[in-house]
Amino acid sequence: MFEKIDEIKAELELKTRQLQACNWRIRTIMTKSRHGIVIVDMSKTVRFANPAAAAIFDCNADELTGTRFDHPLEPDKSAELQIKARDGRTVIVEMWAVETEWDADQAWFVSLRDITESKQAEEALRESEERFRATFNQAAVGIGHVTPDGRWLRINQKYCDIVGYTEEELKALTVRDITHPDDMETSMKHFQLLLEGKLGNYSLEKRYIRKDGSTVWVNLTASVVSDADGNPRFAVGVVEDITPRKRAEEALRFSEARYRALFRDNPIMIVTLDADLTMLSVNPTCASQLGYTTDELEGQPVLRLFHEDDRPAVTEQLRMCLQNPNQVYRWQFRKTRKDGRLVWVEEIAQAVYDLNGLLNVLVVCQDITERKRAEEEIEILNSNLAARASELESANSELEAFNYAVSHDLRRPLTNINSYCQVIRELCGGNLDESCRGYIEQIYAGTLSMNQLIDALLNFSLMARKELHRELVDLSGIARAAAAELAQAAPERRVTFRIAEGIMSSGDSNLLQVVLENLLGNAWKYTSVREEAIIEFGVAEIGGKPACFVRDNGPGFGMADADKLFIAFQRLPGAEEFTGHGIGLATVERIIRRHGGKVWAEGEPGKGATFYFTLPTE
């Protein structure tokens, strides 16, 4: 029996040693563990803490043992804790708790893993991704990731704006689908070389076809992103819309081509000079008109083209032009052709800066030789006209002297004859027979007629020199007054006047009154042969312009004689039976011509006459 007890005792000691060895190994493992391990009893008191756990709490294991573990514990659940270390750091810990036994008591086995660095790495990665997304989505250029088969993985909004598609629409397309056909070969060749690793990156200008069918020019810069084995994962394309620049370049090319065409084909002579007055360029017109080729002139001093007497003045003008850039100068000088002939030219010059910031002079030149000759001829004509004007002034002075002689020297004997006729008639009238009294009456009437003719001649002469005083004139009112005066002078006549209302014109009222009195008086005189006379004054449109007219139903005239109507002292056949001196219509013509108008007449024998006149509208 005692033997059995000894065996049991020995086995118990062995088991105890084995248990102790096992506990030692467990404690060793727990102590050496890189993760923090604490044993917490059911009263939340720390019974054991390994160095890793002590490091998390910034203390040693002995200091941690016996302290209270205030963090909530749930079996078999992971939780994150933020632990404030004694040095102020915040340590992020992943905690895992399971129920166990410790020294035969129920307890919690708590595993603590410091995940601060991984959390910081995750936060840095998240911030990096946010920065990438912000850069990607808000970039001022289009950015796209494209698979090796040409499909888009991701595209930013700017890329979508450039090509006019939404992100979803682009992801359903390939690069080929929107590449301009003319750029397809070059674009795909570069893309393939990039995928094959033969190009690290590339940049090219190409065209995309937008969703609306329009073309957009872009500058594409592409690179490739590969996996760990060096296989291409996707390409990164950065596109910038360069359509405005391309349009500006095209406009510049067009402008340059247009300038070259204007310079080359312009019929005006054009030369550009440098600051030393050397000809930089000469257009063909300039060279041809001076008898040279462009090669003979370009690179030569411009002064060689000018007449030697004009060269100092030309030099001064060009220097002044260079001293005042962008100011336009104009001058006239003589140039000498290759064959020695002189050419007068008018030049317009302006100093401008070229693309290198150097001053050039642009000179536009026109041959005015014929104009100069014309000016010389005009000057001679003006001199002749001045002499003629002087002669006319002398003639006018002589005419005024003649008018005075007519008025004074001719009127005096007429007045005497007129007076003697009246004296003879009063003193001797009773002693004269009938025939003598008739002679006396004829002499008296002749003096009156001669006096009227002298008045008419004087008035006709004055019409050419009387100064015009323009104003708005009521022609209808003047016509009514003249008609009333005519009717009052011969109330026995049956005459119907038809005067249009509201006819107004600009002119000298006194002279226009003479016109209407003469025209209406002429109509009154020639309608005296009619029992029922009709005289009209109105306005009609002739050739798109208004013309005043005086129409009557008198005997009329043949149009073959119309040109004689307005010549002084010219009377038509058959006019002898009507009184007059042949000056009235000539006076009308002179007044209308002085107003800048025109007068003419239309008639037919037996069917009356119409006299038209126009006045400038002001």
In a domain, 355, yes or no: yes
Let me know: does 219 contact 240? Beta carbons within 8 Å.
yes
Per-residue model confidence (pLDDT) at position 86: 74
Looking at the fold, whether 542 and 574 belong to one and the same domain comes out as yes
Let me know: does 325 contact 302? Beta carbons within 8 Å.
no
In a domain, 132, yes or no: no
Q: Determine how β-strand 201-209 pairs with β-strand 152-155.
A: unpaired
Q: What is the pLDDT of residues 324-366, one digit of tens each?
A: 998 999 999 999 999 999 999 999 999 998 878 899 999 999 9
Per-residue model confidence (pLDDT) at position 571: 60
DSSP string, 219-271: EEEEEEEE-TTS-EEEEEEEEEE-HHHHHHHHHHHHHHHHHHHHHHH-SSEEE
In a domain, 125, yes or no: no
Specify which residues 365 forms β-bridges with: 269, 347
Q: Which of these three, 351, 367, 383, is where a domain ends?
A: 367
Looking at the fold, whether 174 and 234 belong to one and the same domain comes out as yes
Q: Which of these three, 460, 482, 511, is where a domain ends?
A: 460
Looking at the fold, whether 363 and 482 belong to one and the same domain comes out as no
Q: Which domain holds residue 234?
A: 139-246
Per-residue model confidence (pLDDT) at position 344: 93
Looking at the fold, whether 104 and 63 belong to one and the same domain comes out as yes
Per-residue model confidence (pLDDT) at position 424: 77
Looking at the fold, whether 508 and 584 belong to one and the same domain comes out as yes
Residue partners of 163: CB distance under 8 A and separation at least 6: 142, 170, 178, 208, 210, 211, 216
Q: Which residues of the chain have pLDDT under 50?
A: 575, 578
If one counts every other C-beta atom within 10 angstroms of the C-beta of residue 48, the result is: 20
Let me know: does 221 contact 203? Beta carbons within 8 Å.
yes
Helices and strands (H and E) in the chain: how many? 18, 22
End-to-end CA distance of the chain: 161
In a domain, 130, yes or no: no
Total structural domains within the chain: 6
Q: What is the pLDDT of residues 179-224, one digit of tens each?
A: 999 999 999 999 899 888 888 899 999 999 999 999 999 999 999 8
Looking at the fold, whether 206 and 319 belong to one and the same domain comes out as no
Token pair listed for 366: 């026109």
In a domain, 253, yes or no: no
Q: Which of these three, 367, 394, 412, is where a domain ends?
A: 367
Per-residue model confidence (pLDDT) at position 69: 86
Let me know: does 345 contact 252? Beta carbons within 8 Å.
no
Q: What CATH number is associated with residue 475?
A: 3.30.565.10
Query: In the chain, what are the helix, strand and coil shares in percent, each to the nearest 5?
Result: 45, 30, 25
Distance (Å) of CA 213 to CA 61, 165, 207, 216, 244: 75, 11, 12, 10, 17
In a domain, 259, yes or no: no
> Helix or strand or coil: residue 38?
strand
In a domain, 597, yes or no: yes
Looking at the fold, whether 42 and 168 belong to one and the same domain comes out as no
Q: What CATH number is associated with residue 343?
A: 3.30.450.20
CA distance 77 to 454: 145
Per-residue model confidence (pLDDT) at position 74: 83
Q: Determine how β-strand 232-241 pairs with β-strand 269-273.
A: unpaired
Looking at the fold, whether 585 and 480 belong to one and the same domain comes out as yes
Token pair listed for 346: 């008018």
In a domain, 40, yes or no: yes
Looking at the fold, whether 407 and 487 belong to one and the same domain comes out as no
Let me know: does 326 contact 297? Beta carbons within 8 Å.
no
E strand intervals along 302-341: 328-336
